[in-house]
């Protein structure tokens, strides 16, 4: 299963979001994972793409929705199924 998660807010860059999400992915033993900063409509976005079995992806999604770095200011989190390639976690 592959999932794309987009986290938006006025302060989601430069607060440790990428290492935070990478640590979650590693602790769950996901097969594939990548994360990057982006911009959308002039706002900050963090995009994470994860691959793993349904249970682990569900846990990743719920953990990302309930927790975030202390300095982050989050407006929203959207997730959707992803059909593209995902980098193996060990390469990330």
pLDDT for the residue numbered 21: 97
| Rounded-to-integer distance, Cα 41 and Cα 45, Å | 10
State both tokens at 62. Answer: 């719920």
Question: 81: closest CA among 58, 43, 24?
Answer: 58
Question: 17: closest CA among 58, 67, 87?
Answer: 67
What is the percent of the chain where pLDDT is above 70? 100
Average pLDDT of 54-79?
95
Q: 46 and 13 in contact (C-beta within 8 Å)?
A: yes
Confidence of residue 91 (pLDDT cuts 50, 70, 90): confident
In the predicted structure, residue 49 carries a pLDDT above the cut 90: yes
State pTM to two decimals.
0.93
């Amino acid at each position: 299963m592959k999932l794309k998660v987009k986290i938006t807010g006025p302060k989601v860059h430069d607060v440790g979001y990428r290492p935070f999400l990478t640590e979650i992915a590693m602790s769950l033993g996901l097969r594939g994972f990548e994360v990057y900063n982006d911009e959308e409509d002039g706002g900050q976005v963090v995009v994470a793409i994860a691959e793993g079995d349904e249970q682990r992806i569900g846990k990743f999604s719920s953990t990302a929705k309930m927790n975030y770095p202390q300095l982050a200011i989050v407006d929203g989190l959207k997730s959707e199924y992803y059909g593209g390639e995902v980098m193996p976690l060990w390469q990330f």
